[in-house]
């Protein structure tokens, strides 16, 4: 595994893929909070990931950029804690999340359900 870190502007991708707005996107979503900083993410479906991949396909990504893009779905956007350790988001987390864009994360089905 490479240790290089970098930022892909995820928010621009999500906003353009979600014209109906954040609220409708978040309905019936599994919301997960980062254990370290409390940043709220929503569990992305594999279908959405595929859509995002197609969107990104318009760009000529290098192997390194591709790696960073994939990693971004598996860690906290803010502090880079691995998404595997996320907990289920609680009311307080979600209330705080209203002030920031909730970001997608791709995790195994059981993450955040215990």
Contact positions vs Zn ion (CB under 5 A): 34, 36-37, 39, 76, 78-79, 81
In the complex, least distance from residue 79 CB atom to Zn ion, rounded to whole angstroms: 3
Please identify, using beta-carbon distances, which residue of 39 and 42 lies nearer to Zn ion. 39
In the complex, least distance from residue 93 CB atom to Zn ion, rounded to whole angstroms: 11
For strand 103-105 and strand 87-88, is the pairing parallel, antiparallel, or unpaired? unpaired
Please identify, using beta-carbon distances, which residue of 65 and 93 lies nearer to Zn ion. 93
């Amino acid at each position: 595994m490479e240790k290089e870190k970098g930022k892909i502007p995820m928010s621009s991708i999500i906003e353009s893929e979600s014209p109906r707005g954040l609220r409708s996107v978040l309905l019936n979503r599994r919301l997960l909070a980062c254990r370290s900083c409390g940043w709220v993410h929503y569990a992305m479906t594999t279908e959405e990931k595929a859509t995002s991949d197609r969107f990104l396909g318009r760009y000529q990504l290098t192997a390194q950029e591709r790696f960073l893009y994939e990693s971004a779905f598996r860690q906290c956007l803010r502090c880079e804690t691995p998404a595997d350790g996320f907990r289920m988001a609680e009311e307080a987390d979600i209330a705080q999340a209203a002030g920031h864009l909730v970001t997608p994360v791709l995790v195994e089905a059981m993450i955040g359900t215990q």
